[in-house]
Amino acid sequence: MGLTGFVEGGIASIVAGCATHPMDLIKVRMQLQGETSAPKSTPYPAVQTLRPALAFRNTTLTAPESIRVPVPTPQVARAGPIAVGVRILQQEGVGALFSGVSATILRQTLYSTTRMGLYDILKKKWTDPNSGTLPLASKISAGLIAGAIGAAVGNPADVAMVRMQADGRLPLAQRRNYTSVVDAINRMARQEGIASLWRGSSMTINRAMLVTASQLASYDQIKEMILEKGVMKDGLGTHVTASFSAGFVAAVASNPVDVIKTRVMNMKVEAGAEAPYSGALDCALKTVRAEGPLALYKGFVPTISRQGPFTVVLFVTLEQVRKLLKDF
């Protein structure tokens, strides 16, 4: 078993990651919407004191006691992907759309190279040598295993990427201002401990298992179905159709886990203070209680807007790289 699958998958993943990075950044910003304005535990977030006056002929009587009236907390309007993108351009400039791209490159190098290479190895190992086929269940199992290992390897870059992408939404005084992915990882390790590099790793692994199993397995399965039924020949049209379908499946399966992962990774833990979330489950429960179940699908439009093109670029590039490296 050579390293060809790792090289092919790594090149394709880096190209796809860089091409779709702006949509990934918008997705992260949307997933963090509402987090800071979540309802507090106090019964009345704001109280307004009123002293009503009663007019009777020429006499004005003032009520002896203040009447305390709870004032509802104003709801923050949720911005859509276009509005979020425009706001980033206006407030932070064009370059902000590529905030954290160095972390994306490192993440794809570690995470995607590992998962793509392992999936390829497992797929070849489990394929029936007589029929040359691999059942869908085996493809899904290969994706789950490859995704889990890849996520564990790439988690530090994932944390750095989320933080770098989210930094621009914070007030100037609260921004981390990482200069690069290396600076981000170094500062996290020094200031928050080595363990912080694997913050949210359980969610990263769960998401990666879902994405890899749904994305790679569905691509292979859909591509095989198209070719077997003679709908299209093995070419660009087949690759685009199968990859976009795989991207949609992956987006639906992974978005809830992705929202929780983003929030856990981005949380700021002050020294001596209680962390906003004790873990992934706590984050999920607080998110649903404060913002409703649909909050788990925040950022779905940019997720599918990114996941679709990402998967298309990934597999189209992969097929081309395979042709170039087939003799190696």
Q: What is the pLDDT of residue 68?
A: 47
| Residue 314: how many other CB atoms lie within 10 Å | 29
Q: What is the pLDDT of residue 139?
A: 95
**Is 231 inside a domain boundary?**
yes
**Which residues on adjacent β-strands are paired with residue 61?**
54
Q: What is the pLDDT of residue 45?
A: 44
pTM above 0.75, yes or no: no
User: What's the CA gap between 177 and 173, in Å, rounded?
Assistant: 10
Q: What is the pLDDT of residue 71?
A: 45
**Is 302 inside a domain boundary?**
yes
**Is 287 inside a domain boundary?**
yes
**Is 311 inside a domain boundary?**
yes
| Best CA proximity match to 165, nearest among 292, 261, 72 | 261
Q: What is the pLDDT along the chain (328 residues), one digit of tens a residue?
A: 468 889 999 999 999 999 999 988 898 888 888 775 443 434 444 444 444 444 444 555 454 544 444 444 444 556 788 898 999 999 999 988 998 898 899 999 999 999 999 999 999 999 988 888 899 999 999 999 999 999 999 999 999 988 888 888 888 888 888 988 999 999 999 999 999 999 888 888 988 999 999 999 999 999 999 999 999 999 999 999 999 999 999 998 889 988 998 888 888 877 777 888 888 889 999 999 999 999 999 888 878 888 889 999 999 999 999 998 886 6
**Is 49 inside a domain boundary?**
no
**Is 214 inside a domain boundary?**
yes
User: What's the CA gap between 14 and 27, in Å, rounded?
Assistant: 19
**Is 320 inside a domain boundary?**
yes
Q: Output the domain CATH number for residue 221.
A: 1.50.40.10
| Best CA proximity match to 100, nearest among 169, 167, 14, 194 | 167
Q: What is the pLDDT of residue 205?
A: 92
In terms of Cβ atoms closer than 10 Å to its own Cβ (0-12, 13-18, 19+), residue 299 is buried
**Is 124 inside a domain boundary?**
yes
Number of domains the chain contains = 1
* Structural domain harbouring 151: 4-38+79-325
